[in-house]
Structure 1
Amino acid sequence: MRLPAPADAPLRPRFQHQGIAFGCDYNPEQWEPSVWREDVALMREAGVDLVAVNIFGWSALQGPDGTFDFAALDEVIELLHGAGIRVNLGTATSSPPPWLTTRYPEILPVMEDGTTRYPGGRQAWCPSSPVFREHALALVEAVASRYGDHPAVSLWHVSNELGCHNALCHCDASTRAFRTWLERRHGTIAELNRAWGTSFWSQRYTDWNEIGTPRLTVSTRNPGQVLDFHRFSSDELLAYYRAEAAVIRRHSDRPITTNFMVTAHIENLDYWSWAPEMDVVANDHYLDHRLGDPRAELAFAADLTRNLAGGEPWLLMEHSTGSVNWQPVNAAKEPGQMLRNSLTHVARGADAVCFFQWRASLQGSEKFHSALLPHAGTDSELWREVVELGAIVDRLEEVAGTRVVADVALLFSWESWWASDAENRPTHEIAYLDQVHALYGALHDLGVTVDVVRPGADLTGYRLVVVPGLYSVRDAEAATLDAAVAAGAHALVTFYSGIVDEHDRVRPGGYPGAWRDLLGIRVEEFAPVLPGTALTLESGAAASVWSERIEATDAAVLDRFADGPAAGRPAITRRSAASGSGVGDAWYLGTLLEREALRDLVGRVLAGAGVEAEPAASGTVEITRRVADDRAYRFVVNHGTSDIELAARGVELVTGDAVAGSLTVPAGAVRVIREEGAA
């Protein structure tokens, strides 16, 4: 469901591209000019039509004397333009050249232990540094004034993966900026003391200059200070993005974006606050084999990115043809997996399929990262798959601009992530994303399409709202769930939800404070268990990690703990609506069920809410629909080892075949059906 735009949101330029874009990052500064011409010819062969350049180009563009040399970039852009390839032009500010940090070492970021991080990697700069910003914006001015109206430029790319490494800086400039941000947010020292609870451990402040960033202490730190520092750091980088965008807008009318990192383990930016600033939302995503179910996480990230875009199409700015270079084991993709991964993003709303990078590097930290053109060259299975994917993406042109619809919403919050995963919490055996991924994974296993939305979003039209471990929530945000259930939606809330307000202040009277009345329960005490301790419910369902001492005040008890510290207490409850009242059911889950038991419970909740998955859909066979007023498309991604058959009528776009009643989708294949009579 589309999120409403802010009332004062400006009209922004739209990304104009015919069909689904197929593209990549290109780093020509790593290659001799003779290679550039070969590359452009091969891009045309592969069907590449959107190329990001000048992402890490600062040291190639500007020397220590301050002068700029655009000759090489001019030539590359003209080569691409001559081949009919559009340019996603980077501002080149993502990593400063060594001469700049040598001349101005105060630019370098400082970590929470007070140590400085030095050049030699990337993003060696402090987001609050006025010196860095002065030099970076001068570079943006030079790039934007030169290429602002160039016909090849269809999109501007601010910096690169902002905050990936340097989001949390503790230098003197950051400390001063943090104090200014705190004064704007809280107004008075008294209000800050109240918000942070500084009466604890004699932390009461009397002057803004007494406050620092939350560097490491000899004990654990003030949770309110840490939470506000996360907010400040996200806002500080967003202010930096706005500063670059403002320079570009003086010279160009083309849309501007930056690449988000909506993916596991990247938590430092609150993209709900960033997304309205983007002319088009773009995301980088890489399969993470450290997770239990990387494929479900890919779907989760795509569904979240789509809702950051307000339900509108978005751009997959980066993903990989094969292995990455930064995991403990960098697994290669099996044959056909690149196609399935790519079209899963398209099925969930992406109008671009782009990769890092075009040609695999021969040197540097990413030399073993996969690329469209691998080290093995064009005589390789990977290259043949790339050419095949380019042709298929071209056949999906008519899908562009359509939207994904869903009956289920899942609430997700970066602020709750920051607050939940604090230094002091009931157990370190589970983190916020563990619950999020578990609940989304159950929905994914059951073949249900999900909108991942922010707390407080308009929930009108959803049959079911899932709330996994939403520890921190504002009163107004909590009220939207109450209102949705009152209007007929069903809700599933899991443990450690609704516990604190936006200041990380516990709601007294029993957990889950924000939703006690909605759920008809009262939790007296958390009772997490030690690592390796198994829990069993009276139904025989297996659980682990968490139990709690629950009292059912106005809810039916559906299952109880059979053992553990909460033995005999409710584990699963449901507060049912009166028949015919129009009010939905409110379910509560007070433990971490193992995967099969969780899938069974979620299946019951879906059935009660009247949500039905597409026939044949499962965690192995993903089926998603994209629709417009006059047409509809069904994407079928078969990750399994067996062919499947499903009822369908229309035209299958991957093969171009007509479908007259049924369609076989081979094992490992993707099919996209323009459905007959959808209008």
Structure 2
Amino acid sequence: MSLSSWPTGSAICFGGDYNPEQWPREVWDEDVALMREAGVNLVSVGIFSWAMLEVREGEFDFAWLDGLLDLLHRNGIAVDLGTPTASPPAWFFAAYPQARVVAKDGTVQGFGSRGMASPSSPEYRRAATRVAGKLAERYGSHPAVVMWHVHNEYGAPVGEDFSAAAGTAFREWLRTRYGSLDALNAAWGTAFWGQRYVEWEHVGLPSATPSVANPAQRLDFARFTDHQLRACFLAERDAIRAHATQPVTTNFMANECPTTDLFAWAREVDVVSNDHYLTAADERGHVGLALAADLTRSVAGGRPWILMEHSTSAVNWQPRNVAKRAGEMARNSLSHLARGADGILFFQWRASRSGAEKFHSAMVPHAGTGSRVWREVVALGAALERLAPVRGSRVEADVAVLWDTESFWAQDLEWRPSVDVQHRERVRAYYERLWRDGRTVDFVEPSQDLSAYRLVVAPASYLLRERDAANLTRFVEQGGTLLVSFFSAIVDEHDAVHAGGFLAPLREVLGVAVEEFLPLRAGETTRVAWAPAGVAARTLVADVWQDDLVVDGAEVVGTHLDGPAAGGAAITRHAYGAGTAWYVSTRLDVDALEPVLEQVYADAGLAPTGLPQGVEVVTRHGEDADFVVAINHTSEDVKLALGDGQELLGATAVAGTLDLPSGSVVVLRTAPRRPGGDGRP
């Protein structure tokens, strides 16, 4: 998307979900006055208003929305107009009870919450497309509308659906995918447990079963679920495009919604947007935030994206909803901006008095405009106005972490060797190590061109296609450095163990083979003797997993001191072609990964940046300037040498070092330079 077509032009988007239908008309005038005070330039409207727009089937009332859009436009506030299809009205379910979602155990989901009807329901698809088209027909040329917002958080709360409509659609999807029952039987391995099909009508959904359902069927059902959700989006998007030319988006939930393949979805939107909320139980939630932001930028292909929702303070759905402390909202917001977001929006503008989310924080909290939260909202709006020059610049990384949603779907199925092996945990552990070392990360699919990266990390690649393994092998052969964690390259795209056994597609590049998995008991720890050449020996603590490794060309740099693989290889390094491939066959925590990554970086021509722990620094590169964002998440003041330039938030010149007080953020505009920060030419 070009700068001229960005929803708010050259400005950074700032605002949030606006739900005026919850308030008397006189409150609207107060709202827009406060929006102008806070510097709000974009609000999302209409996301849950289907019952107010189509009061009965085919009977539309747009008068209130006409007045609202006119009011916002007069006050210089642009609109991201939502289609309200995430919450069908009561009349819809009364007319089409067959469109209700059915849970895996056969329970029919009722009305009175939020969530879409069955994504496979023809009646839902028809009604959703109709209301989207009517909105676009009426408001496609309205000057307030700068973007369209389809639905809300696809896959949350409605993902898998086991209704009759889903069963019919699943069979049709399988016919298209496989073409014949013979091909389906082969892909699903139905010779096991006598599951062979001879009629298409006999193929059903992986509903509740006496024992574990066919894992290949479960994997295909996950693919089908994602396809059906996306088909609903495409139907609405195309209905909008028949009448409107503004960009179309839908809000993702990066790293939080397992039913959607973000890379596939990103190819269908005009601008990527994401919702992110801190996990209150995570004491290093700012690291999880950075992961989600890097993932969102990555699925956007490096293009600018919008943080469509986050919270000013506490949310309302977690077991313990921890409030944000002074300055935390700004740090959260500017961390997203540092990692590529050109829009910072919240849920929601004004706190609701009624309903399930009345305890969710807002830009205008229940405490009103005399509150600390409101003062921080106004301050953030002013800061984003000063940061407008950052708009359109890009983040570049030389480290990539593999992200494969289909592999995650497969790994999360039942009857795996250990319940303690979770893809989320390994992705977070390796990401946090990279974060602590100051390395900026892109997430990539294993099929992508990897030539732009010096280092590729595969923390959780349980499912790895042969062609993707070949892509990783070429990357190393051509000079790249690859780091692979345990329980990788185990199965193919049908969740069948690779011919040749575990790790087979990567054996050549890694120089090792796995004879047997050796998972550990709950709470059991083991030790690894870490002794690469030229490095002081030390002992690393590991847990959860060991492999019975056969070394075939690799150098052993870590050895198991105890456990079932005692005396065997734990960590290996293999020179292959012009590059190097590493294999870590046990679970190391973030601290234990530090010495391993130091050696991996050396092979890749990288190094830790030496930042104080708890300080993050990310650079956005523009045509005429770079923008270095530094955030201090600690309770101690630090000094940083970021170069010479102009600090945009404080409007001060910087030469040499600058002070970064506890809990603060600085944004330094400097002369443009090559990315990497490691002195390479």
1:8 aligns to what? none
- The answer to whether 1:258 aligns with 2:253 is no
Deviations 1:502-551 (A, max 9, x none): 11111133421221111000110001111111111134211111111111
Moved more, 288-297 or 646-655: 288-297
For the 8 Å contact 1:630–1:678, the answer to whether it is kept is no
CA–CA separation in structure 1 for the residues paired with 2:385 and 2:118: 41
Matched, 1:75 2:77: no
Q: Does 1:169 align with 2:161?
A: yes
2:116 and 2:619 map into 1 onto residues whose CA distance is 43
Counterpart for residue 449 of structure 2: 458
Aligned counterpart, 1:479 = 470
Asked whether the 8 Å contact 1:340–1:637 carries over to 2, the reply is yes
User: How do residues 497-536 of structure 1 correspond to structure 2 at under 5 angstroms?
Assistant: 497-536=488-527
Are the aligned partners of 2:621 and 2:672 in contact in 1 as well (CA < 8 Å)? Answer: no
- Relative to structure 1, the CA distance from residue 671 to residue 96 in structure 2 (aligned partners, 3 Å threshold; closer, same or farther) is same
Equivalence map 1:205-284=2 (5 Å): 205-264=197-256, 266-284=257-275
User: CA distance change for structure 1 residues 14 and 40 in 2, over 3 Å: closer, same or farther?
Assistant: closer
| Closer/same/farther in 2, CA of residues 551 and 293 from structure 1, 3 Å limit | farther
Per-residue deviation, 1:17: 2.5
Secondary structure in structure 1 of the residue aligned to 2:499: coil
Q: Does 1:408 align with 2:399?
A: yes
2:243 counterpart SS class: coil
Under a length normalisation based on structure 1, what TM-score does the superposition of the two structures give? Answer: 0.96
Aligned to 1:654: 649
**Rounded Cα–Cα distance in structure 2 between residues aligned with 1:321 and 1:356:** 8
- How many Å apart are 1:15 and its aligned residue? 4.3
Q: Measured at CA, do residues 167 and 317 of structure 1 come closer, stay the same or move farther in structure 2, by a change above 3 Å? A: same
Identity of aligned residues (%): 48
Letter in 2 for 1:148: G
Query: Which of residues 648, 658, 667 in structure 2 aligns to 1:672?
Result: 667
Measure the CA separation in 1 of the matches of 2:499 and 2:125: 45
Q: What is the number of residues matched between the two proteins?
A: 663
The residue type paired with residue 521 of structure 2 is L
Q: How does 1:559-570 map to 2 (within 5 A)?
A: 559-570=558-569
Q: Distance in 2 between matches of 1:470 and 1:328?
A: 31
Q: CA deviation at 1:65?
A: 5.2
Deviation by residue 1:183-231 (Cα, 9 ceiling, x = unmatched): 1001110001110100000000111111111101000010000000000
Moved more, 297-306 or 13-22: 13-22
Cα shift at 1:619: 4.9
Q: Indicate the residue corresponding to 1:556 in structure 2.
A: 555
State the partner residue of 1:140.
132
User: Which of 421, 431, 445 is 2:412 aligned to?
Assistant: 421
Contact 1:263–1:286 (Cα < 8 Å) also in 2: no
Paired letter, 1:200: F
- Provide the C-alpha distance between the structure 2 equivalents of 1:231 and 1:610, rounded to a whole number of angstroms: 38
2 CA distance for matches of 1:150 and 1:615?
A: 52
Q: Distance in 1 between matches of 2:252 and 2:150?
A: 11
8 Å CA contact 1:13–1:279 kept in 2: the answer is: no
Q: How does 1:524-673 map to 2 (within 5 A)?
A: 524-539=515-530, 540-577=539-576, 583-616=578-611, 619-647=613-641, 648-673=643-668
Distance 2:515 2:163 in 1: 43
User: How many angstroms apart in 2 are the aligned matches of 1:517 and 1:82?
Assistant: 65
SS of 2:592's partner is: helix
After superposition, residues 46-445 of structure 1 pair within 5 angstroms as 46-64=38-56, 66-264=58-256, 266-291=257-282, 293-445=284-436
The superposition leaves residues 207-261 of structure 1 with CA deviations (integer Å, 9 ceiling, x where unpaired) of 1111111101000010000000000110111111110011101110100010001
Q: What is the rounded CA distance, in whole Å, between the counterparts of 2:100 and 2:5 in structure 1?
A: 35
Look up the SS of the partner of 2:319 in the other structure: coil
- Contact 2:513-2:551 at 8 Å conserved across structures: yes
SS across alignment from 2:550: strand
Native 8 Å contact 1:323 1:370 kept in 2: yes
Query: 2:178, 2:311 → 1: CA distance?
Result: 43
Greater shift in the superposed pair: 194-203 or 60-69: 60-69
Shift of the 572–678 alpha-carbon distance from structure 1 to 2, 3 Å rule, reads closer
Q: Distance in 2 between matches of 1:343 and 1:460?
A: 30
CA contact (8 A) 2:57 2:92 kept: no
How far apart are residue 141 of structure 1 and its match?
1.7
Q: Give the drift of 1:608.
A: 2.4
Distance change in 2, residues 1:466/1:619 (3 Å)? farther
Give per-residue Cα distances to partners, 1:375-418, cap 9 Å, x unaligned: 00000111111111111011110111111011100001110100
Aligned-partner residue type, residue 264 of structure 2 = S
Deviation beyond 3 Å, 4+ runs, structure 1: 12-16, 290-293, 612-615, 676-679
Secondary structure class of the residue paired with 2:103: coil
1:570-590: CA deviations, max 9, x gaps?
A: 11000025xxx6x11100000
What displacement does 1:479 show?
1.4
TM-score by length of 2: 0.95
CA–CA separation in structure 1 for the residues paired with 2:427 and 2:168 = 35
Question: Alpha-carbon deviations, 1:22-48, whole Å to 9, x = none?
Answer: 110001111011101101100111111
Could you say which residue in structure 1 is the equivalent of 2:535?
Answer: none
SS in 2 for 1:269: coil
**1:275, distance to aligned residue in structure 2 (A):** 0.7
Structure-2 separation of matches of 1:263 and 1:42: 33
Read off the aligned partner of 1:344 and give its amino acid letter: S
In 2, Cα distance between equivalents of 1:492 and 1:671: 33
- In the aligned structure 2, how far is the partner of 1:479 from the partner of 1:291? 37
Q: Secondary structure at the match of 1:307?
A: helix
CA contact (8 A) 1:536 1:543 kept: yes
Aligned equivalents of 1:639, 1:416: Cα separation in 2: 33
What is the identity, as a one-letter code, of the residue corresponding to 2:199? D
Shift of 1:676: 3.3
Q: Structure 1: how far apart are the matches of 2:72 and 2:350?
A: 15
Give the 3-state SS of the residue equivalent to 2:579 in structure 1: coil
